[in-house]
Structure 1
């Protein structure tokens, strides 16, 4: 499996060659008509969480989860939630806060995300909205009354990976999740009377294991292993289908609704291994994103940015 080391706690600011205090005063000047929000998009597995942490260690920021499944508590492995260690001390909102059996609608997301954005801005921080539920992001940004657009100016970043490469990666990621205990995690959550159209049980990895858990007590070791392999293959197929749907929604927002979305091609990152992958990530994704966000916030051209990497504080995380 491809492993991309997350030196997520990278301390890299001192971005601009301007006097101390100017950045914050420019960003939060009362003369500005709209306050600013950064929104990270991309298919599952492309590195949205990694980029959100990279940016939040380079700008004064907090992160709002926009994944409709990860908003629920529980099944941390199956839903691939960012861990507390991976968060590197950056405040996260709307992550694991909803009862696993409760429904969570786009309207619920709009209400909670809007409150989180206002709260983060009130503390002089930048809201970074990150997640794969593009329909929820669309509902928030293009609400029927245009309230969000009237208050906030948005910078959209899209982490993209070529589908054949991404499909291989998400397949390997499912294997890693199984190694980390996903099957037992879902088994402990299994309910033969559960509704898979409700709450966290809609998550890929839960309904696919239903047949296995029902048959498990009645099968010998060989047949159990076969049934489990089939369930894992179905999880992989459905994850790849999800990635394709997510990509289609981003293309629609960009091409049909004319959202100005900055595409960052991370394919080369996923084709490399080890430190070379980290270098590619900085060169192709984290670095360009930092420049885009700096220009968005402070209206200073990329030529003014200092390419001065600071010391890294490793969280010991693998993606």
Structure 2
């Protein structure tokens, strides 16, 4: 049976994914599907670098602003919604373009990835939650690194929910969650072309630092205060880089300069983890976009690659 087509634009934060995805959508009559686990939340726009209406340039975007911050959202739910969008966009004769940096979400869509209902135990989870309270999330994350370093590398150490989930699976099944995921994801679901953006590390880190400064100027503090005042404890939305780092400032425990420095550091570390994850997990066509002067040339190369791989014009 003929497979649907899909293009994918991935890369670390601040690498230029949004701009490229819109360029490709306009060139190939496409529509963009957000592959970012935090852009689904309403009200969290500045800190998640959500595309603006002006930046969209008329290109339809999907899976943005579909949940409230207090609502849960999982990779399994993303897989279902994204696949529905891919089918619909293909059926209308257009090209779906997944754009984002959440590796697990994108991988779950592209491959025959089955989310098991096994490995869930409320008692074990409660024990791990109590452990996190007692020894701290950092120590719990170090435990996970000891038994499943691959899973630990796929998310931020402050993401207690995912740390607990991965340890829960390990304690119940006796094997790493990452091993089960590898066994579950061998077959490609779509005729796809994956484009990865990379750049010199120092240049990328400078872009990240400047982006944080621009976000603060654009109103990130007010956005973080709105989320902070909701008093959500374990909701995924409060784990987003860009918000929790500002909570100590909002509590009067740090200066804005100190909180901003932590935010920049965490964003840089996240970018490094993203690059490591993508390079280890998927067959990606990488393009170095360090030099701003060659961006247009790289876009032309990417368009030629997509046209060839997906047999599109």
Q: 1:262 aligns with which of 278, 281, 285?
A: 285
Please tell me the root mean square deviation across aligned C-alpha atoms, in Å.
Answer: 2.0
Q: Does the CA contact (< 8 Å) of 2:33 and 2:62 recur in 1?
A: yes
Deviations 1:250-291 (A, max 9, x none): 11024xxxx2x111100112xxxxxxx4xx21112x111110
CA–CA separation in structure 1 for the residues paired with 2:187 and 2:250: 47
Corresponding residue for 2:25? 56
Task: Tell me, in whole angstroms, the C-alpha distance in 1 between the residues paired with 2:193 and 2:295.
Answer: 20
Within the candidate set 29, 45, 62, 2:14 is matched to 45
SS at match of 2:231: coil
The question of whether the paired residues in 2 share the 8 Å contact of 1:34 and 1:150 is answered with no
Task: Check conservation: 1:62, 1:126, Cα contact below 8 A.
Answer: yes
Q: CA 1:298–1:142 in 2, change beyond 3 Å: closer, same or farther?
A: closer
Q: Are residues 192 and 58 of structure 1, via their aligned partners in 2, closer, same or farther at CA, if it must alter by over 3 Å? A: closer
* Residue number among 270, 280, 289 corresponding to 1:252 in the alignment: 280
Count of residues in correspondence between the two structures: 244
- Report what 1:97 is aligned to: 66
What secondary structure does 1:267 align onto? coil
Structure 1 residue 149 displacement after superposition: 4.8
1:204 and 2:232 aligned? no
Question: Is 2:296 the partner of 1:282?
Answer: yes
Residues 139-179 of structure 1: CA distance to partner in whole angstroms, max 9, x if unpaired? 22223358995642111100111211101110011001111
CA distance in 1, matches of 2:72, 2:237: 8
**Cα distance change of structure 1 residues 77 and 299 upon mapping to structure 2, 3 Å threshold:** closer
Asked if structure 2 preserves the Cα contact closer than 8 Å seen for 1:78 and 1:177, the reply is yes
- Higher relative contact order, chain-length normalized (CA < 8 Å, sep 6+): 1
Report deviation, 1:102: 1.2
- Quote the Cα distance in structure 2 between the aligned partners of 1:95 and 1:113: 11
- Which residue of 2 is the match for residue 142 of structure 1? 111
Does the 8 A contact of 1:141 with 1:148 survive in 2? no
CA distance in 2, matches of 1:266, 1:134: 20
Gaps of 5+ in 2: 115-183
Give the unaligned 5+ runs of structure 1: 1-31, 217-225, 270-276, 301-319
* Structure 1 contact 77–182 (Cα < 8 Å) conserved: yes
Provide TM-score, normalisation by structure 2. Answer: 0.73
Q: Which residue of 1 aligns with 2:96?
A: 127
1:177 aligns with 2:215: yes
Contact 1:61 1:128 in 2 (8 A): yes
Q: Secondary structure of the equivalent of 2:229?
A: coil
For the Cα contact (< 8 Å) 2:70–2:232, is it kept in 1? Answer: no
SS of residue matched to 1:67:
coil
Structure 1 stretches of 4+ with a deviation exceeding 6 A read none
CA contact (8 A) 1:205 1:235 kept: yes
Match of 1:292? 305
Once the 2 structures are TM-superposed, how far is the Cα of residue 297 of structure 1 from its aligned partner? 2.6
Indicate the structure with greater helix content. 2
Q: Which residue of 1 aligns with 2:152?
A: none
SS of corresponding position for 1:156? strand
1:59-89 deviations in Å (ceiling 9; x for gaps): 1111100100111111211111000110011
- Answer whether contact 2:112 2:188 (CA < 8 A) is retained: no
Please, which of 236, 244, 259 is the counterpart of residue 264 of structure 2? 236
Partners in 2 of 1:58 and 1:207 — Cα distance? Answer: 38
Q: In 2, distance between residues paired with 1:118 and 1:53?
A: 20
Per-residue CA deviation, residues 176-224 of structure 1 (Å, 9 max, x unaligned), is 11111111221233227321x42322211211111111127xxxxxxxx
Give the SS at the match of 2:193.
strand
